[in-house]
Amino acid sequence: MTGAGELNVMLNGRPRRVSAPATVASVVSLLDVAPDARGVAVAVDGEVVARSAWERTEVHDGAAVEVVAAIQGG
């Protein structure tokens, strides 16, 4: 159940409840990411949201938010 003024989002595969309205920036901040952290990118429901748009992009109820960063590989 979602309380009044709350949204359910899937953040990196884990269900999280956030207060509404929520932006990409506010959801990303749940991960303790420095706002200027380098090499971090976000997709909402599979679509990339440019960092410049994090503050103004609202996240809808049920959204899947993926926050990725560089690791060793390849």
Partner 1 sequence: MDAGTRAAGRELDEPLVIAGRRLGSRLILGSGGFANHELLAAACRAAEVQLCTVALRRLDPSARGSILDVLEELGVDVLPNTAGCFTARDAVATARLAREAFSTDWIKLEVIGDDRTLLPDAVELVAAAEQLVDEGFTVLPYTTDDPVLARRLQDVGCAAVMPLGSPIGSGMGLCNPYNLSIIVEHATVPVILDAGVGTASDAALAMELGCDAVLCASAISRAHDPVAMARAIALAVRAGRLARGAGRIPRRRYAQASTPVEGMPQLGPSASAQWASTA
> Which one of residues 20, 33, 57, 64 is an interface residue with partner 1 (CB under 8 A)?
33
Contact between 10 and 23 under an 8 Å Cβ cutoff? The reply is: no
> How far apart are alpha carbons 45 and 9 in whole angstroms?
11
Nearer of residues 22 and 28 to partner 1, judged by Cβ: 28
Residue 73: both structure tokens together: 């590989």
Min separation Cβ 46 and partner 1, Å: 6
> Which one of residues 1, 4, 5, 32 is an interface residue with partner 1 (CB under 8 A)?
32
Long-range contacts: 49-53, Cβ < 8 Å, 24+? Answer: 49/24, 53/24
> Which one of residues 3, 13, 15, 36 is an interface residue with partner 1 (CB under 8 A)?
13
Q: Which residues bind partner 1 (CB under 8 A)?
A: 12-13, 31-33, 37-43, 46, 48, 50-51, 66-74
